[in-house]
């Protein structure tokens, strides 16, 4: 009987260890990209650049990018914010837009994608109309 209990416990412990080893840490949903001459900027889990709109009012809880604007500058949202070392969760929050969508903010600024960035590392929207800029630790106004 003791041998059966010992074998059962050993198998249980081995199973738990296997599950723990097989469980992966959550993937970062926000990370940092880098471009020579520009520095570090925020990207999503796929490496796509995240932008802020200079006409937004930081920490206002609103976005100035409405219906037509969001066709080219869709709001960024992720279910769970998982960050790398060097970024603080205190700098990230959410707002609920007038259209009902939830949008992630960084240092109070709503974050957006640019639809003409097709591949990770592209930052084609940076400086556009002198109103759109990649968001990053040393780049916020």
Q: Would you list the domain boundaries of the chain? A: 26-134
The reported pTM is 0.82
Task: Please report, rounded to a whole number, the percentage of residues in the chain having pLDDT higher than 90.
Answer: 77
> What 8-state DSSP symbol labels residue 15?
H
Q: What is the pLDDT of residue 13?
A: 36
Q: What is the pLDDT of residue 79?
A: 87
Q: What is the pLDDT of residue 7?
A: 41
Across residues 57-81, what is the average pLDDT? 95
Return all residues near 64 (Cβ < 8 A) that are at least 6 apart: 53, 55, 56, 57
- The token duo for 112 is 């957006």
Return all residues near 3 (Cβ < 8 A) that are at least 6 apart: none
Q: What is the pLDDT of residue 16?
A: 34
Q: What is the pLDDT of residue 25?
A: 58
Q: What is the pLDDT of residue 33?
A: 97
- The token duo for 98 is 């007038």
């Amino acid at each position: 009987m003791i041998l059966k209990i010992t074998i059962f416990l050993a198998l249980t412990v081995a199973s738990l260890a296997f599950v723990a080893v097989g469980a992966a840490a959550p993937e970062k949903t926000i990370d940092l990209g880098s471009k020579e001459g520009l520095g570090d900027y925020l990207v999503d889990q796929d490496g796509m650049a995240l932008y802020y709109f200079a006409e937004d009012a930081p920490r206002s809880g609103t976005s100035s990018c409405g219906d037509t604007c969001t066709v080219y500058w869709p709001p960024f949202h992720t279910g769970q914010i998982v960050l790398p070392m060097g970024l603080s969760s205190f700098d990230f929050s959410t707002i609920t837009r007038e259209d009902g969508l939830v949008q992630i903010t960084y240092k109070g600024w709503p974050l957006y994608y640019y639809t003409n960035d097709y591949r990770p590392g592209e930052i084609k929207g940076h400086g556009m109309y002198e109103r759109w800029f990649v968001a990053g630790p040393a780049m916020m106004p």
